[in-house]
Chains A and B, each alone.
Chain A
Amino acid sequence: MSSTAEKTMKTDSMFINLGPQHPSTHGVLRVGLTIEGELITKAVPDIGYLHRGTSKLAEVRGYHHCVVLTDRWDYVAAMPNNLVFCLAAEKLMEVQAPPRAEALRVLMCELNRVASHLLFFGTYGIDIGAFTPFLYAFREREMILDLFEMACGARLTYNYIRLGGVMADVPPEWLAKCREFVDYFKPRIDEYDTLLTYNPIFMARTKEVGLIPAADAVSWSLSGANLRGSGVCYDVRKSDPYCGYERYSFDVPLGQTGSCWDRYFCRVQEMRQSIRIIEQVLGGLPEGPTMAAGVAKIPKPKPGEAYAHVEGARGDLGIFLVSDGQASPYRMHVRAPSFLNLAILQELLVGNKVSDVIAILGSIDIVLGEVDR
């Protein structure tokens, strides 16, 4: 470069705010990006816009009321949230849910996982620029929400799984409807593969992008499909079974390279496995009560500490509950998978292009309600 050009030209890095109002941040997430041209040199995720302090709120609410709070973390898949709190509280209260309630819990959680992955599938398509799969995913998600509405009256925040069991048994016609959905849904997953999974443009956009090596994924405490996309086999349903998951046969889909496509593919495969589990549950749903006897209206568990974790739609969702013998939890700590998955963003984005930010952010699949709690 000549000296005059050096004098007259001034190159500078640019700072852009991705969010908190941006169509692709999936909520109120802000990422401060420093870019050189289209290349990212620094990324600072900024969270807390949706912080409601549920841990603090739980400290003055009864255990039954806390279930309502849990719905609001991962509002896309609220059943596992209900479940994990109930599991932790049941450990404190030394209550065991009856078999039918456990089977219904598994059924609802797996249906919710499918609904959540469908939402991911649709919005990830939009992130990459394909609008059409979104509508296909929502068509099926709507059916699952209808099933939930039949079972508990709510479509988003269910409050269905309660301490000691579930809110109510499903209506008699529900099981037939659920089978109808399963039969309808199975061929749809193959349709999604033709729509998006093996689309050459989609693969060009997501393969070799946002690579997370297995060691990094473990070190960053990732979980769910983000960890399994890197080839690390960790699924709470297999590693630390709850609700009788050890009785059902299913596989844990693993990725190879930890790219965006691998994470995406893990989720699509997980929908197949969830449908497998749902079929097994429907095949052998035990009869009996759906609520354990002896759950107090105002439970006051013995002093103690319990940790329960489940495989939520976004990963290893854990709750650490402390009781001091009062009607409210003394301390509730949530191990939110989205929160921990999001932390890797500051390292992962650097060196990528602006378009890849969206692809990577989408593939991490966060729900800001759970990140901020």
Chain B
Amino acid sequence: MSEEPKPDAKAPAAKAAPAKKTFPPAKFNEKAGRLLKTTRYWPTELWANPWNKPSYRRGALLLGGIILGLLATGAAVGELAVWGDRLYAWLLAFISARGGSPVLAQGIWAVFKGLLVLHVILLNGLWAVWWERKISAHIQSRVGPVYAGGFHGWAQTICDGIKLLLKEDITPAASDAWVHALAPAIVVVPVVAAFAPVSFGRQLAAANLDVGVLYVFAMAGISVIGIVMAGWASGNKYSLLGGLRACAQLVSYELPRGFSIVPVLMFAGSLNISAIAAAQAGYKWGFLPRWFIFYPVVGQLAFLIFLIASIAETNRTPFDIPEAESELVSGFHTEYSGMKWSIFFLSEYGYVLLASFLLAAFFLGGGASPFAFDHLIPSWIWMLGKAMLMMFLFLWARWTFPRLRADQLMDFNWKFLLPWSFANIALAGVWLLLS
């Protein structure tokens, strides 16, 4: 080691006056012009009683106004089923007058109803995406889309839809092209078909099927084939894992989902969805609706199991292991883009809507009003409101829970949900015996 003292370490210290060596900080910062003078808006400022802000009060008023306006519109329109009957009568008269057979009128009417159901699903896609984005945003202390369309970003999903239509449709080189293209169709067709017997209000269903419940579950079960096809045909190992996971999960959760509504079927004595809703009409003690969810223990247990199994069936968090963005990079639809991808999305939201309407019909009295004194607001408004409430439960769960692991998911199904749904059937039997 050299022993000589460092010349340049000591010399400046000797020259500069040590007392005046302090930095002039604030001045230096301002001159440099690069530094933040003060912080940006902090939550501490933003959260100081939002009701003091006029914009917040205006927004609350507006929201109340929108809800009241919807109710008033519903009351003015009246029962949709009545309008439908009038329209069909007019169609029948029109075709008979032109010398056509009633079969033709029935055919046109069936196509019309089919198109209506299809549009319910498409519009639901637009609505649900926007709604989910807004709800997730507010759960996460954000605001979500605000620009597109002007009012709370209402046009956001329309713009997204246009974007998705214009996006390049990519078929990976390693994929099985035909199966890859076919999979979205096989996923989405059963959703549309499954909506046939679903009641949207009193007497408001595309088809009044006597085996409606069985039909819906049978149709919903088909989609898993499409998902496995998508996973396989993508030629991607992650997609394959996702597809296989989806297969195991969907097939397993069919069981508790099916068994959980057996008590409902026992109470209602019918498999027709409209009949099940109708069986819950009336009020106990003059004010408590006779909805199945209000049946002590049996009703709530069945509701919860059906809700959980429905969340699992729709591949949503906490049961989204087939998609599992952070593990499988979106699983079976990793290799899909553009419209093919959005069809997967559409069918997912379609299933959420289906489950919401089923929940409303099975447990919440369908289109029945919760108030005994209310005769004004039509059944379809109530049905829609209840379905949206159920949909909110789906979204709420999605943005609140972490994801389960595949084996925990199976454990939960086979060791918890399924035994309890069996026990619930026994409970329902006891209930029927006693009452």
Contact = CB atoms under 8 A, between A and B. Distances in A.
Interface of A: 14, 16, 22-24, 38, 93-94, 125-132, 134-136, 139, 142-143, 146-147, 149-153, 168-173, 177, 180-181, 184, 196, 199, 201-202, 204-205, 288-291, 293-294, 296, 298-304, 325, 353-358
B327 A201 contact: no
A205 B402 contact: yes
A171 B318 contact: no
A152 to B, nearest CB: 7
17 contacts: A16-B237, A128-B326, A130-B400, A130-B403, A132-B139, A134-B140, A135-B142, A147-B39, A168-B28, A171-B29, A172-B26, A177-B39, A205-B404, A289-B21, A291-B23, A293-B18, A353-B406
Nearest to A203: B402
Contact of B326 (A129, A149, A199): A129
B404 A354 contact: no
Contacts of B405: 204-205, 353, 355-356
Contact of A131 (B237, B238, B321, B399): B399
Interface of B: 1-2, 6, 8-10, 12-13, 16, 18, 21-23, 25-26, 28-29, 32, 34-40, 42-44, 136, 139-142, 237-238, 241, 317-318, 320-321, 324-329, 399-408
A330 B118 CA distance: 73
Given A129-B401, A142-B40, A296-B9, 14 more contacts: A24-B326, A94-B9, A129-B317, A129-B324, A135-B142, A143-B42, A149-B36, A168-B23, A205-B405, A289-B21, A298-B8, A299-B8, A303-B2, A325-B2
Nearest to A298: B8
Contacts of B328: 354
Given A132-B139, A132-B140, A139-B141, A294 B404 contact: no
A293 B40 contact: no
Contact of A153 (B32, B40, B399): B32
B404 A149 contact: no
Nearest to A199: B402
A146 B40 CA distance: 7
A115 to B, nearest CB: 14
B44 A302 contact: no
A301 B13 contact: no
Contacts of B320: 129
B406 A355 contact: yes
B127 to A, nearest CB: 21
Q: What are the nearest 5 A-B pairs in CB distance?
A: A129-B403, A294-B13, A169-B25, A135-B140, A130-B402
Contacts of B13: 293-294
Contacts of B25: 168-172, 290
Contacts of B237: 14, 16
B403 A296 contact: no
B245 to A, nearest CB: 8
Given A24-B326, A129-B402, A294 B10 contact: yes
Given A135-B141, A196-B402, A296-B8, A354 B39 contact: no
A296 B7 CA distance: 10
B408 A204 contact: yes
Contacts of B28: 168
Contacts of B40: 142, 146
Given A129-B317, A168-B29, A150 B39 contact: yes
A177 B405 CA distance: 42
B335 to A, nearest CB: 14
Contacts of B29: 153, 168, 171
A291 B25 CA distance: 12
B140 A131 contact: yes
A143 B401 contact: no
B44 to A, nearest CB: 5
Contacts of B408: 204-205
Contacts of A142: 40
A289 B22 contact: yes
Contacts of A16: 237-238
A355 B35 CA distance: 43
A129 B318 contact: yes
Given A135-B142, A136-B141, A300-B8, A184 B32 contact: no
B256 to A, nearest CB: 18
Nearest to B326: A24
A129 B13 CA distance: 57
Contacts of A131: 136, 140, 317, 399
Contact of B12 (A149, A152, A294): A294
A139 B23 contact: no
Nearest to A15: B237
A150 B327 contact: no
A130 B140 CA distance: 11
A354 B26 contact: no
Nearest to B30: A171
B403 A128 contact: yes
Given A199-B401, A293-B16, A38 B329 contact: no
Contacts of A354: 241, 327-328
B39 A171 contact: no
Contact of A146 (B42, B136, B318, B399): B42
Q: Taking each of A94, A170, A201, A289, which has the highest tally of chain B beta carbons within 10 Å of its own beta carbon?
A: A201
A358 B326 contact: yes
Contacts of A204: 404-405, 408
Contacts of B241: 38, 354
A225 B235 CA distance: 40
A127 B404 contact: no
A298 B8 CA distance: 8
Contacts of B26: 171-172
B142 to A, nearest CB: 6
Contacts of B141: 135-136, 139
A169 B23 contact: yes
Nearest to B137: A135
Contacts of A358: 326-327
A135 B138 CA distance: 11
Given A130-B402, A204-B404, A304 B8 contact: no
